[in-house]
Amino acid sequence: MLRRYCHHLSLLLLLLPILGSNATCPYDLDSATPLIPATCYANATDTAAGSTTTGCCWFVFAAYIYAAIRHANHTVVAFLPDPAASDCASAFSASLIRRGLVRPSLLNSSDSCNLSGDLAAGKRPCLYTTVSAIRSAVNLSNATRLCATFQSDLSTNQSACADCQNAVVGATFDLLNITNSKEFVPCGMAATIGIWSPAAPPLPRFRSYALCMLQILENVGSLGTSNLLPSPPPPRLPSSSASPIPPSSSSSRSIKIAAGSAAAGVASIAAIVFLAVLIHRSRRRRSTDNDADRTVTIGSPLPTDGLYIFTKAELRQATGGYDDRLLLGEGGAGRVYLGKLPSGQPVAIKRIYREKKLPEFYREVEILAKLRHRNLTTLVGYCLGSREHSLVYEYMAGGNLSRALFHGELTWHRRVRIAVDVSEGLAYLHDFPEGAVVHRDVKPTNVLLTESGVAKLSDFGVSRIVPTDGTHVSTEVRGTMGYVDPDSFSVGHVSEASDVYSFGVVLLELVTGTRAVVPTPTGGAESIVHKAQEATTRGGSDGDGGVGSIVDPRLGEWDRASVGAAFKLACRCVRPYKNERPQMTEVLVVLKRILADLEARLGLSGDVVSSGPSTEEASEESWVRAWSL
């Protein structure tokens, strides 16, 4: 008791100077500003390359967190109370603008990099008062070893950078679970301060950490290679009689999601690390493992049975010399163009020119060459080049499910049919004779639609074939934020249950019309899984199991039996532990029964497929309006 009293008294004495000052920031902010590169200065002229706003905002918060870490090392105080926290944020913003270290618009705009004192004001979960409280709440020894005490330069050592990132993500998840919180921004900040404050890192050391994380952030421009697959309507092919087509300003580009705070932009180093891993985790494995993979895979002959091996000249001819007017999408690996083969068949040509994406190219060819199913995208062929490779797919004129669901109008009948199609494809993968094929990135942007509305699963760049003994273990975090199986973080095994979880999230999106993760007014993010859990806990007044409170209002008078059954199935799929989830074969059986019952009530034939948007029936203007982001 006496020891506890003395501890509280000493802590109070530490905080008294802060609490007693309304206009003093205890952080040494000036020592942290050298983290901000010259390209972010107000008078900088080199602002065209890269995501300038994102990168500069990153370094602003890196500098602020560095100052907090240095202060924590000297005082053991992890987070400041108000008004000191607000004073620090305001003083830092004013100092950066006054000294010309950032453009005023960067900090004055509420939708880019608005520093908020609330981030460190102790008003949210995970904002522990002391560093010891953070380190007592969660085991940070591994993250400290891999990030703070590792001697290699994290900005250049890709293996060390990936290991550090995984450790920070794991620590953030632990804090989220301990505090029963969805607020990953403060929990990520707590993890970062807890990891780094004992080491009191010199500026160059912390800069290497910030640069390491910036490398990952730059990859967030694509949410996996799926965004390189076509989703807009087919542009008109150039011809002598056709008038020139102006480049589209709304071409399918990957979405940079900062789900922790869409309005606040980058919130902290740890928060961005957390987001970057879950949004885009297609990093190479440890350098030794990656080199081995490249030697084995690249040195091995790729399959040719059933595939056409294109030449670069053939692909150049098919795309009119890679005409920008035929650009369908762009992402972290390269670009996708609409092509036309001599037979007249339209194809989507994914041109991959980033070296780090080449292992995914080989993996996709090797896996797709083995697979043939109505609900999987068909690989027509590929092209091997010295500096770039290309994948040639069947063209999917209906776009992707994300656009159809969130930017179009899908009836409930169409949604159930799509769910059946996707579950058909997944069930086929999981029952593959050579071993279960685990997709590992099931999400709406990876579900493509034919012009007649048939859904097909796409993007197998991060997929794995699990041996029949089920012993495959992966140390990588794969998938997209909101769809990643939480059990995979602790277990590390690649299994079909991870796909079941991701599919459950997609099914919840079909029921609710809500994205998997949405920003909250407080700067955090809310998961659709949490919303579903809350709805089932509350229940419904009409005995609907709670689905009535979150069902998509665009459905109008919704079919209670089928919607309720689909919602119940989705909730089973997203249970926290994999042994509690159904297998895809069971999911498929249940969905087929739901569809049959629904069609019987609607008086529809089971063979009827409601067509998707048609380029022949809709004008170009209305098509773009319905499908553009």
Reading the block at residue 338, the tokens are 């609409």
State how far the alpha carbon of 353 is from the alpha carbons of 357, 361, 478, in Å: 8, 10, 21
Q: How far apart are CA 432 and CA 436, in angstroms?
A: 5
Angle at 460 between CA 609 and CA 295, to 5 degrees: 160
Query: Has 441 been annotated as catalytic?
Result: yes
Residues 6+ positions from 54 with CB-CB distance below 8 Å: 217, 256, 265, 266
CA distance to 109, 237, 251, 332, per residue, from 325 (Å): 34, 8, 10, 20
Q: Are strands 308-309 and 334-340 parallel, antiparallel or unpaired?
A: unpaired
CA pair distance 472, 50, nearest whole angstrom: 38
The residue type of 517 is V
Separation between Cα atoms, residue 425 and residue 421, nearest integer Å: 6
DSSP state of 378: P
Catalytic residue among 441, 487, 499, 552: 441
The size of the chain, in residues, is 629
Q: Judge whether 574 and 535 are in contact, CB under 8 Å.
A: no
Q: Is 2 helix (H, G, I), strand (E, B) or coil?
A: helix
DSSP letter for 383, please: E
Number of helices (H), then strands (E), in the chain: 21, 13
Specify whether the CB–CB gap between 229 and 402 falls below 8 A. no
Q: Is the peptide bond before 83 cis (omega within 30 degrees of 0)?
A: yes
DSSP 457: E
Whole-angstrom distance, CA of residue 81 vs CA of residue 11: 13
Q: CB–CB of 218/51 below 8 Å?
A: yes
Q: What angle do CA 69, 72, 73 make, to 5 degrees?
A: 90
How many angstroms separate the first and last alpha carbons of the chain? 60
Q: Is 577 helix (H, G, I), strand (E, B) or coil?
A: coil
For residue 275 the two structure tokens come to 């987001």
Give the whole-angstrom CA distance, residue 423 versus residue 582: 12
Phi-psi region of 336 (alpha: psi -120 to 50; beta: other; left: phi over 0): beta
Dmax (CA) of the chain: 91
Task: Please give the Cα distance from 579 to 565 (Å, whole number).
Answer: 21
Residues that are catalytic: 441
